A and B are shown apart, each in its own frame.
Chain A
Amino acid sequence: MNLILASIAVLFLSSLVSLAVQGKPRIAGILGACGSVLALGLGIVPAVQALMGSQFAPLAFASSMPWLSFSMGLDPISAIFLVPIYILSGLVAVYGTGYMKPYAEQKNTAFYWFFYNILVASMVLVCVARNGLFFLLCWEVMALSSFFLVAFENDKVEVRKASWIYLIASQLGTVFLIPMFILFGNQSGSFEFSSFYNCLTPAAATGCFILGCIGFGTKAGIIPFHVWLPEAHPAAPSPVSALMSGVMIKTGIYGLVRMITFLGMPPLWWGMVLIAIGALSGILGVLFALAQHDIKRLLAYHSVENIGIIVLGIGVGLIGISTGHQTIAVLGFAGGLLHVINHALFKGLLFLGAGSVIHQTHTREIDHMGGLIKKMPITALTFLIGAVAISGLPPLNGFVSEFLVYMGSFSGITSLEAETAMPLAGVIASLALIGGLATACFTKVFGIVFLGEARTIQLDHVQESPASMTVPMIILAFSCVVIGLSGPLVVRLLIPEVLAIVPISGPFVFDPSEWLVNISIVASGLVVLIILGAGFRKFLLSRRTVGQTVTWDCGYAAPFSRMQYTASSFAQPLTDLFSAFLKTKKHIKVPADYFPAQASIETHTADPSNERVYRPVFAQAVGLLSRMRALQQGRIQIYVLYIVVTLIALLLWKLR
């Protein structure tokens, strides 16, 4: 516990120090990154120990505010979230020193490091806080510091707009969390987490569940509360997107899991609600990702999809608890929670890869890129590993966690009654659909960005990113492979921790690692085969001359790179199939005559929940609230008058 405190202190200190040396951006960057890396070294030790089963005594500092106490604790649930937070923030900080270098001339990068380290510290605090008010405080610090990071390039109009959307969304989410904690505090008589367990009546528990799903779901980005994700991620600097998408949105999942442990025995429909939310987020998330042209927007929608998978896992776990089937519960929770770690690794990797590409090409449009694998081999290879992992293909880590959720659902189908088995069958169907669509989507991204030839960008100036950026990506890719291959070990490590969450006693008899061992053996064989094949190719080519020619020829007399297949055309069969959901707008200019001179097609996929739900609601709200403007005169005299009137009214009320 002391090491966690030390890491938080280091983070706050380094954020202040980097602000103090803002005149020298290089030093500020190094000091800021050092803070995160040092915190990684300090904090990972107790986090891993807690995962291994060590017990940590809780800490509490009293405060002068009523109900608030700075109590902290470390248990396996916190540790599952702390491990990716520490790892990803350390690596992303190293990456940031390289990524931020070009900004140092125009912007004050010290602010970036200041808010970066505060964001990391607040995420750690959210995971260890054990008091409702303290939790909310850290939650707000996290929201605000990430808001400032999203708004880093605030000289651009679209960045300002996106960061406002993010701020409003996260504040609205908190609006639902405050009554939830008040309900807990009201019924238990204290804001300490330790007093929350089973303190609620069933009706209050249902209220808390709904409030928590909305409040935490907004941070996590489940549909329909996901609108801020596709706006904020393209606007933020790439390392910030990686950190936010990789670990910050997971604090929403942490809150959800933590809340569920307080609520006692869940009714069956809670699990079904979570499965419905998860399936909706997963399928719609990946569909909208498929229709995007902006690489970071696309990755943002994939975050929605993966949060959907995590929520599916938790939903399966809840159904297991409420039907009393330990196997289903453990597999569901284990799958969901392992996917938290896995998604942090591969989504962080993908955003860093995208950042590395954007850093060199200065565009986020997928259709402008192409052929980057020749110039940026390391970025391409690590991005490929991340893409395979996020698609849930063996032998990488995404597969392991999705496999657990699959297994949980299958064992539920075989052992449960028909009505309760139906949603689990839905889980299997939607996971399969998500996996397939995600594979299609990442085939599109990788193929268009890295293969073929450059479309409108100039490849001459493109080069591989510096080592400070590639090394974190290599480490992340490597850990994806390691977790994928050592799946059985990881699962065995995780199951005792998950058993602690599941309130069903009895020995755990089912061991999913048996299957995983076989898969790992086959997968390792595959990796060996790939390496052998690459070696054999090199051997064959070693004594021959290798010629190079254009990638696309197609029998044209004068082919040029713009004739290549585009991302939109690749996705078109699928987007047409799902056009009922996507409502893609197309502006087509069909070529006319026998000698067509001009033709064009433009597609745009707007977010329906944004267009049809939030925009009308907010327009109404603005209309209503603008009448309140009369109160806000912008004159200091009026404001002082408000204060005086309030004080006198209070005094009168008291003296009455």
Chain B
Amino acid sequence: METYIEASVILLLLTDIALFGTSRLYTCITIAAVQGVLLGLIALFANAETFIPRIIVIASIGIVIKAFVFPYLLKRTIRQAGVQREIQPFIGYLSSLVVSLVLFGVSIWFSAKLPLALGAGRSMIIPAAIMTMFTGLFLIVARRKALTQCIGYIVCENGMYLFGMVAVGEIPALVELGILLDAVAAVTVMGVAMYHINREFDHIDTDRLSSLKG
């Protein structure tokens, strides 16, 4: 099982780095969806020996929501808003990749410092989780389109989910479902808000919304 977990974690790290360097919004959404699937798989693999039905159910719900519901909602928003790609991000794609490497180093340093007791074969999970959170925050900070920020939010949530799964282990089912529900509600609201912003201003560039300041 450890091999599968490690493979999934490495795939997850690759998706993170891919998010740093992707400008097409469709691709970003797809990568985030893949991340969701990977997370569900990691949860399943990690608990494969014990076989707790609760975890399987929650992991499957997570996969369904992150791999199908979110992409559906976001892609619909893209069609409505008519934007295809992130143009003129605050930080260019090549520099973003450099930043991603720095952040990866920082997350490994963090995880080495964090006093956590981890099982065998899971040493890469904590850096991956921190890296995923960083990726989400980076997308929120460095990109212009509201849609990318929404994706950043989802990715950040993915990182927290992974971190919680490893660090805390037995998260109550209610909390996990609550986080999922929270994310669903947030994505729905953001989708609706973006639709309206787009209809009102003909763009979803958040930096240009500063004209609304009082």
Residue ranges of A at the interface with B (Cβ–Cβ < 8 Å): 633-638, 640-641, 644, 648, 651, 655
Contact = CB atoms under 8 A, between A and B. Distances in A.
Nearest to A634: B210
A106 to B, nearest CB: 22
Interface string B98-109: 000000001000
Contacts, number: 29
Contacts of B207: 635, 637
B206 interface: yes
A451 to B, nearest CB: 48
A634 B140 contact: no
B210 A655 contact: no
B141 A640 contact: yes
B148 to A, nearest CB: 10
Contacts of B140: 636-637, 640
Nearest to B106: A648
Interface in B167-214: 206-207, 210, 213
B137 interface: yes
Given A637-B90, A637-B141, 20 more contacts: A633-B210, A634-B210, A634-B213, A635-B206, A635-B207, A635-B210, A636-B149, A636-B206, A637-B140, A637-B142, A637-B144, A637-B206, A637-B207, A638-B141, A640-B140, A640-B141, A641-B141, A644-B141, A651-B110, A655-B114
Nearest to B211: A634
Contact of A655 (B90, B110, B141, B143): B110
Nearest to A633: B210
Contacts of B213: 634
B206 A655 contact: no
Interface string B110-151: 100110000000000000000000000100111110000100
Contacts of B110: 651, 655
A-B interface, 8 closest residue pairs, ranked by CB to CB distance from nearest: A655-B113, A634-B210, A641-B141, A644-B137, A640-B140, A637-B141, A634-B213, A635-B207
Interface of B: 90, 106, 110, 113-114, 137, 140-144, 149, 206-207, 210, 213
18 contacts: A635-B206, A635-B210, A636-B149, A636-B206, A637-B90, A637-B140, A637-B141, A637-B144, A637-B207, A638-B141, A640-B141, A641-B141, A644-B137, A644-B141, A648-B106, A651-B110, A655-B110, A655-B114
Instruction: Specify which of A637, A638, A640, A655 lies most central, judged by the most chain B CB atoms within 10 Å of its CB.
Output: A637
A638 B137 CA distance: 11
Contacts of B142: 637
Contacts of A648: 106
Instruction: Specify which of B90, B140, B142, B149 lies most central, judged by the most chain A CB atoms within 10 Å of its CB.
Output: B140
Contacts of A637: 90, 140-144, 206-207
A305 B160 CA distance: 60
A331 to B, nearest CB: 53
A641 B207 CA distance: 14
Nearest to A642: B141
B99 to A, nearest CB: 12
B90 A640 contact: no
